[in-house]
Amino acid sequence: MAEVVAGIAASHVPFMAMQPQFELAEEGQRNRVVAGMSEARKIVEQARPDVIVIFSTDHFDRCFYNNLPPFLVGVGEEAEGPIAEWMHLPKVKLKIASDLAQFIVREGLDNGVDFALSQELPLDHAEVVPLSFITPQWNIPIVPIVVNAFAPPMPSLKRCWQVGAFIRETIERWPLKRKVGVVGTGGISHWVGPPETGRINAEFDRWFMQCLVEGKAAEVIEKYKDAEELEKTAGNGGQEIRDWLAVAGAMPSRLKARVLAYEPIPQWATGTGVMGWA
């Protein structure tokens, strides 16, 4: 049977992969973030997953109000991106582990998790940026799961944790003997578009990461049942902690969390963090 062997949660700030924006950040800060990403890569390399399930967010590049599912699974043979042209990043093409993706969707339908699915899901910077650090050779097939953390109504934090736990249970039921890594991307605190753009709530970010280290995801879920309250505290970009909570939910108890890096970087307008479970 398959098993979850590692977890990573990381910001997907586009500026991490763009020039000259990357170098606008203070040198010490950007170096510590890159070092944290390198630690994340080592966790993945040591765990040697056959597949990576990646929880990420859309930015109205793939979904819009005419079709805005809470959870969308890419089930095709491959995915290419980033779809947005403004970053001027090279396109990459990744193989999708469609056998596991289809299994997750079928198991969901039988167990109360109604995933939407797409045979033609392109990649967003939410996948491409962190994976460029974590799996720079692009050699591990993925199962992309897009979580609506961009526009209301969004799935609750509790539901995202539950879906993560369901993914772990489903992986453990998958009859193939495979090792699976789970990645979640986004956040942490940032405001995109409103007058507060550029603000960072480092106190929230550190508290949130410490809750995950201590296995206290329930504390985050209880405190921020209201998405509007979360947005006041961590910005509209802070809604992406849904992806981190999904990873936390997917982790077996034998894997322990630690913070690999955290830097509030004003030039990137984001509280930028990396965590690993190993």
Mean pLDDT of 1-22: 93
Dihedral angle computed from the Cα positions of residues 174, 154, 6 and 93, in that order, rounded to the nearest 10 degrees: 80
How many domains, the chain? 1
Helix pair 227-234, 202-213: axis angle to 10 deg: 120
Here the CATH number for the domain that contains residue 90 is: 3.40.830.10
Cross-strand pairs, 273: 262
Tell me the pLDDT tens digit for each residue of 31-45: 999 999 999 999 999
> Which pLDDT band, with edges at 50, 70 and 90, does 23 fall under?
confident
What is the identity of the amino acid at 242?
A: R
3-state secondary structure of 46: helix
Using the predicted structure, report yes or no on whether residue 84 has a pLDDT greater than 90.
Answer: no
The whole-number pLDDT of residue 19 equals 83
The whole-number pLDDT of residue 88 equals 79
Mean pLDDT of 58-78: 91
Tell me the pLDDT tens digit for each residue of 207-233: 999 999 999 999 999 999 999 999 999
> Which pLDDT band, with edges at 50, 70 and 90, does 83 fall under?
confident
Mean pLDDT of 143-151: 96
Tell me the pLDDT tens digit for each residue of 163-200: 999 999 999 999 999 999 999 999 999 999 888 888 99
Chain-centroid distance of CA 43 in Å reads 16
Its domain, for residue 25, covers: 3-277
Residue with the bigger pLDDT between 217 and 59: it is 217
Cross-strand pairs, 79: 94
Using the predicted structure, report yes or no on whether residue 277 has a pLDDT greater than 80.
Answer: yes
Closest CA to 121 of 83, 155, 90: 83
The whole-number pLDDT of residue 110 equals 97
Sign, Cα dihedral of 133, 134, 140, 141: negative
3-state secondary structure of 239: helix
State the Cα–Cα distance between residues 135 and 151, nearest whole angstrom: 29
> Strands, DSSP E only, in the chain?
3-10, 51-57, 71-74, 78-81, 92-95, 116-118, 142-147, 179-185, 257-265, 270-277
Residues with Cβ within 8 Å of residue 204, at least 6 apart in sequence:
188, 189, 233, 234, 238, 271
Cβ–Cβ < 8 Å for 260, 20: no
- pTM of structure: 0.96
